[in-house]
Amino acid sequence: MTPALAPRRVLPAIVVAQFAGTSLWFAVNAVMPELQRSLGLAPDAVGSLTSAVQLGFIAGTLVFALAAIADRHSPRGVFLLCSVAGAGCNAAAALWPAGSLDVATLWLLRAMTGFFLAGIYPVGMKIAAAWYPQGLGRALGWLLGALVLGTASPHALRALGTAWPWQDVMLGVSALALAGGLLLWSTVPDGGHLPRATTLQWRALGAVVHDARLRASVLGYFGHMWEIYTLWVLVPLILASRLAGPALSVAAFAVIGAGALGCVLGGLLAKRYGSARVAGLQLAASGLCCVLAPWAIGAPDGLFAAWLLVWGVTVAGDSPQFSALTATNAPREAVGSVLTLVNCVGFAISIVSILLFVALAQRWPLAWLLPALGIGPALGLWALRPLLARPDSGA
């Protein structure tokens, strides 16, 4: 099946559904000040609760990959069920009896939300790979752009509803995720390009280690994951040095949401220059933003804003191309399982990074810490060398 044979509604529907489903990811981060006051949370609770989602996601992706869920069953059915379950876990925190929600319960609910996100983010990529075997870099550019906007959307919802209780924001995010799952189920058939697996794909997963091209894209992605989610967690702290209240929420949405632009533009450029070159360029640019942090944090407002926006664009813009390279080089019968397993390891790396940097931010100025995020891009570029030396023609 070629992209031209895919119904025109397919890509927009996947994009909107991915945006809606991944809005669950940072729902708590957008209402963190209210939660801290309501539950008496410690200043570093944002790191713990964000890591709960990542831990749940890791557990979910490990189960989904080893059981080949997205390769053996209808991906859109998996997407719908996980959207419903994830929305329910997220809403449960808002619907919990007044005065009885404690930190441990909230942490568990966030971990369960992360578990079901494993059936939304990588499964959405599997669905796109099934419909768009050619031009996958472009399709995933739109898809992961939607993921970035979904991640940023709770900040926008918080800015629009500044007088809303935190519970209403959480319920709004859950309603959005539920609508996304229903949209994809009702409008996107299962694509026919990728074969349906009939057995577990454990042997095919070994290609991540043994195939040189697949290994290069996977290791590059791991370097990217050291940086991206930690930056997103720290964005409100970076902005808090100059902004507060609704203005901070708007700015956080702008910085994180700018990554959608990087994803879409990267997808358009990948057709001409190849996914490896586009990913490498954006990874190098975001790494440079890490290095510039000590100067940029103290720069005039205009330069400070430009630095953060460029960082927001490039920190996410390489992600679709890494996923496109991974999907292109993975065994055909195990694309969903390989993408899910790679996500599993990548998010484990992000947990280490988040917990480390949030803990250190309580003791050290951010200007001193942020350059260390550049370790990930540097190692990612080193790993990507085989694909840069012999680039793909455009995934």
Chain segment 114-158, per-residue pLDDT in tens: 999 999 988 888 888 788 877 778 888 888 888 788 778 777 766
Q: Is the pLDDT of residue 105 over 70?
A: yes
Mean residue pLDDT of the chain comes to 86
List the helix and strand counts (H, then E) for the chain: 22, 0
**Is 175 among the domain residues?**
yes
Q: Give the model's pLDDT for residue 4.
A: 47
Structural domain harbouring 79 = 3-389
Provide the CB-side half-sphere exposure for 237 (13 A, CA): 23
Relative orientation angle of helices 259-273 and 245-257, to the nearest 10 degrees: 10
Higher local confidence (pLDDT), 99 or 93: 93
**Is 110 among the domain residues?**
yes
Q: What's the average model confidence in pLDDT over 10-33?
A: 86
Domain harbouring 14, CATH code? 1.20.1250.20
Q: Give the model's pLDDT for residue 284.
A: 97
**Is 162 among the domain residues?**
yes
The answer to whether 64 touches 188, Cβ cutoff 8 Å, is no
The answer to whether 390 touches 216, Cβ cutoff 8 Å, is no
**Is 395 among the domain residues?**
no
Q: Give the model's pLDDT for residue 200.
A: 47
Count of beta carbons in the 10 Å neighbourhood of residue 306: 13
Q: Is the pLDDT of residue 388 over 50?
A: yes
For residue 84, what pLDDT band results from cuts at 50, 70 and 90? very high
Please state the domain count of the chain.
1
Spatial distance between the Cα atoms of 165 and 176, rounded to a whole number of angstroms:
17
Q: Measured between alpha carbons, how far is residue 309 from residues 32, 246, 247, 320, 358 in Å?
A: 23, 18, 15, 19, 21
State the distance between the two ends of the chain, measured CA to CA, in whole angstroms: 15
**Is 208 among the domain residues?**
yes
Specify the length of the chain in residues: 395
- Evaluate the CA torsion angle 155, 161, 162, 163 in order and state its sign: negative
Higher local confidence (pLDDT), 279 or 337: 279
**Is 28 among the domain residues?**
yes
Spatial distance between the Cα atoms of 335 and 327, rounded to a whole number of angstroms:
6
Q: Is the pLDDT of residue 392 over 90?
A: no
For residue 307, what pLDDT band results from cuts at 50, 70 and 90? very high
Q: Give the model's pLDDT for residue 205.
A: 60
Q: Give the model's pLDDT for residue 265.
A: 94
**Is 394 among the domain residues?**
no
**Is 102 among the domain residues?**
yes
